[in-house]
């Protein structure tokens, strides 16, 4: 799961990372320590983005 080496987008520390995808096509990477926060952050963004898209379609 944490196979990518790089800098965590949340804590800015070098580590092994996992990728988090946003519904708008962008993505960020988080380390194991920041993973729970990152999942929550990305989930909240994706839900809000989907609601905005649904409103625009109406």
pLDDT at 20: 98
Reading the block at residue 19, the tokens are 């990728």
Give the per-residue pLDDT at 23.
95
Place of tokens 């929550």: 40
User: In the prediction, which pLDDT does 50 show?
Assistant: 95
Q: Comparing 34 with 57, which gets the higher pLDDT?
A: 34
Domain ranges of the chain: 4-57
**What pLDDT score was predicted for residue 12?**
98
Vertex 29 angle, CA 53 and 35, to 5°? 95
pLDDT for 2-54, tens place per residue?
A: 999 999 999 999 999 999 999 999 999 999 999 999 999 999 999 999 999 99
């Amino acid at each position: 799961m944490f196979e990518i080496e790089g800098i965590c987008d949340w804590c800015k520390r070098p580590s092994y990372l996992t990728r988090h995808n946003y519904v708008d096509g962008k993505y960020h990477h988080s380390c194991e320590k920041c993973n729970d926060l990152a999942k929550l952050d990305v989930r909240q963004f994706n839900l809000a983005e989907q609601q905005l898209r649904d409103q625009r379609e109406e």
